[in-house]
Chain A
Amino acid sequence: MVVHRKHPIVMNVEEVTERAEPRAFSPHDDMPEEYRKAATRMIQFHANSEIMGAYLERPFIRQAPSLDRKLAFSAKVQDEIGHGQLLYRAAESLGIKTRAEMLDELAAGEGKFLNCFHYPMTEWWETPMIAFFVDGAAMRRQATIKRTSWEPYAHAMDKICFEEGFHIKHGEDIMRELAMGSRREQQLLQEAFEEWWPRILQFFGPTDDRSTHHDFSARVGLKTMSNDELRQAFLNAYLPKAEKYGLEIPDEPRIRKEDGRYIVAEDDLDWEEFWEVASNEYDGSHEQIGSRAATQEAVAWVRNAIDRSEQSQP
């Protein structure tokens, strides 16, 4: 009989690369620090993005123009917080950082998150840009993460993808209502689309030659598709949908189709702004991070009160 024993020594990167496959590794395995750090960076980014996305969408619970929409938006914001909770737990399982440390980093402006959530969103007709396009883009990426090598991350994705499916349907329904609404509603939707479209394309990050972390993450099975492949899949699915709802695709960034593949003119996108956003240095970053930090500071007394009373228990 073969007795499966916990690996006696820490795996090296070569071994990890060799064994990498979907859901191959869990907290039972002694992973090398390089893997644990890369996985933490990826999951923490994902968790932070859930929180900051919820932060951006919360005002639309109030502004929703019907009771059902209000309920759906409240449920969505709640789901995103729940996703953040699950993902921080998956990140903690790597033993690099605690959830409290990651939330502190987010409040301090050190935690990174998705580019689209650095921009302000103030009007109802902008909401499908996040709730349909950005969530749709995220869904492409998240579906591939079901096959990531860190099992707790893949496991979290099962629940998250299931719920995101409902969010995107709701986002599409809001867009359909606007697209079939008055001439003015259609115009406002088009304006919002033109403003958000370049950011949505940049959602997938730099094309492969500029990506800093891709090689290692791909080698150890954390990432299973490149940024470019994900963007192809997104454009294939979402360009026809945008056209279906009467949206005109902006002339820039130029996109052409060649041999069944979309080619985006990368120089038409503002990469300087993207990197400013990525390093939390954009004006919107300061605004979003700062106001999130302020709300967390305002409730610090509750956490302190609970800590003190728990410590004084016999």
Chain B
Amino acid sequence: MATNQQSDPDELTDRQQAAVETLLFSLADDEFVLAERYTEWQVRAPTLESDLALSNIAQDELGHARLWYDLLTEFDYTESELLFERDPADFTHAALVELPFADGDWADAIVRSYLYDTAEQLRLAALEDAAYTPIADRIGKIRSEEAYHREHAENWLERLCADPDGRANVQAATDRLFPHALALFEPVDAEHEATIREFGLRSESLADLRERWLSITVPLLDSLGVRPPVSADGSPPELPVAYGRGGEHTEQWPVLHAELTRTYRELDRTNTRTITNDPDHAR
């Protein structure tokens, strides 16, 4: 356990606060944008049952995003500033979660979820003793829900890969999404990343998390007859040019951001309505 634990946002040094904010933005933005793509599946999934399952997952991710954004409001951000009025270029999610998908490409939803939720499991475990305790306090609730997401994705991977056509679609989604998933292990910026480690926010380096992620995902995909795009010696592919995080986003992101802020802009809103005050007790 970290020795320099801190629970009061006002007691953080400027450098620590900047690192906490950077970490929270990347966690929140990943969940928020992933959920935004998942909701496209509502009323469009292969069966009523899979529709309900993916809706559940989308709402979990939105709930997690709210938990993280809520911690950012303690640094005096409003929801408008965090979401609706923020320059889309300033979002720090990995491009994995913003990528659009072809109509009916259910393999995309499943592979995206599998790659993301496996990374999420590792990332959250490494934050369990975060020196800034409001982060550590929220890990338990999120981890229990993410375990279900992983199980859902793994079950579907098995089912799809039991059929040659299904497996071919999983392969195509893996080829496309796998390089983007590596961005989940990229720092937003080197200086803040150093503070995240020194201050004791995350107990493992991003490079170590990435190695562990590869050691889980590569054998699992192999076992299903899907070839992950790694070289013979097991080294992963290059990051895509636009990978999000601290780098460029794809050209699809500003489009998505414009859609999700459309009503807010058209009605000249300057604030957002909160229905529940305490996100820890939300539905």
When C-beta atoms are compared, the residue in chain B nearest to A185 turns out to be B267
Flag whether A177 is at the interface (Cβ < 8 A): yes
Q: List the 7 closest A-B pairs by CB distance, nearest first.
A: A298-B104, A66-B272, A309-B162, A78-B55, A305-B166, A302-B46, A305-B163
29 pairs across A/B with beta carbons < 8 Å? A63-B262, A63-B263, A65-B272, A67-B272, A68-B272, A68-B275, A68-B276, A70-B62, A71-B62, A72-B275, A74-B55, A75-B59, A78-B55, A78-B56, A81-B42, A81-B43, A82-B52, A124-B267, A173-B275, A295-B44, A297-B104, A298-B44, A299-B45, A299-B46, A300-B104, A302-B160, A302-B166, A305-B163, A308-B163
A116 to B264, CA, bound (A): 26
The smallest beta-carbon distance between B87 and chain A, in angstroms, is 18
Q: Which of B2-10, B63-71, B189-197, B244-252 contacts A (4 or more CB under 8 A)?
A: B63-71
When C-beta atoms are compared, the residue in chain B nearest to A301 turns out to be B165
**B52 and A85 contacting across the interface, CB-CB below 8 Å:** yes
Flag whether A13 is at the interface (Cβ < 8 A): no
| Residues of A with C-beta under 8 A to B259 | 62-63
A66 to B59, CA, bound (A): 14
- Interface residues on chain B, size class: 35 or more
| Residues of B with C-beta under 8 A to A72 | 275
A77 to B55, CA, bound (A): 8
Interface residues of B in 46-88 (CB under 8 A from A): 46-49, 51-52, 55-56, 58-59, 62-63, 65-66, 69, 79, 83-84
Interface string of B241-283 (1 = CB under 8 A from A): 0000000000000000001101110111100111110000011
| Residues of B with C-beta under 8 A to A71 | 59, 62-63, 66, 282-283
| Residues of A with C-beta under 8 A to B14 | none
Flag whether A157 is at the interface (Cβ < 8 A): no
A64 to B163, CA, bound (A): 39
Flag whether A212 is at the interface (Cβ < 8 A): no
- Most chain-B CB neighbours within 10 Å: which of A51, A65, A185, A306? A65
Flag whether B16 is at the interface (Cβ < 8 A): no
Interface residues of A in 75-112 (CB under 8 A from B): 75, 77-78, 81-82, 84-85, 88
A33 to B159, CA, bound (A): 39
Flag whether B169 is at the interface (Cβ < 8 A): yes
Looking at the complex, which one of A54, A173, A181, A305 makes contact with B160 (CB distance below 8 Å)?
A: A305
Interface residues, chain B, CB within 8 Å of chain A? Answer: 32, 36, 39-40, 42-49, 51-52, 55-56, 58-59, 62-63, 65-66, 69, 79, 83-84, 103-104, 106, 159-160, 162-163, 165-166, 169, 259-260, 262-264, 266-269, 272-276, 282-283
- The main secondary structure of chain B at its interface with chain A is helix
- Most chain-A CB neighbours within 10 Å: which of B106, B163, B272, B282? B163
Interface residues, chain A, CB within 8 Å of chain B? Answer: 51, 54-55, 58, 61-72, 74-75, 77-78, 81-82, 84-85, 88, 123-125, 170, 173, 177, 181-182, 184-185, 292, 294-295, 297-306, 308-309, 312
| Residues of B with C-beta under 8 A to A82 | 52
- Most chain-A CB neighbours within 10 Å: which of B266, B267, B282? B267
**B166 and A309 contacting across the interface, CB-CB below 8 Å:** yes
| Residues of A with C-beta under 8 A to B169 | 301
**B103 and A295 contacting across the interface, CB-CB below 8 Å:** yes
A63 to B260, CA, bound (A): 5
Known A-B contacts A62-B36, A69-B273, A305-B163; the reply to A77 vs B43 at CB < 8 A is yes
A67 to B83, CA, bound (A): 9
A197 to B10, CA, bound (A): 53
A133 to B134, CA, bound (A): 42
The smallest beta-carbon distance between A281 and chain B, in angstroms, is 23
**B165 and A67 contacting across the interface, CB-CB below 8 Å:** no
Looking at the complex, which one of B48, B162, B163, B263 makes contact with A85 (CB distance below 8 Å)?
A: B48
A304 to B39, CA, bound (A): 24
The smallest beta-carbon distance between A299 and chain B, in angstroms, is 4
Known A-B contacts A54-B43, A65-B84, A74-B39; the reply to A124 vs B58 at CB < 8 A is no
When C-beta atoms are compared, the residue in chain B nearest to A81 turns out to be B51
When C-beta atoms are compared, the residue in chain A nearest to B256 turns out to be A62
A170 to B103, CA, bound (A): 30
**A67 and B276 contacting across the interface, CB-CB below 8 Å:** no
Looking at the complex, which one of A67, A70, A173, A301 makes contact with B104 (CB distance below 8 Å)?
A: A301
| Residues of A with C-beta under 8 A to B45 | 299
The smallest beta-carbon distance between B48 and chain A, in angstroms, is 5
| Residues of B with C-beta under 8 A to A182 | 267-268
**A295 and B273 contacting across the interface, CB-CB below 8 Å:** no
- Most chain-A CB neighbours within 10 Å: which of B32, B56, B65, B260? B260
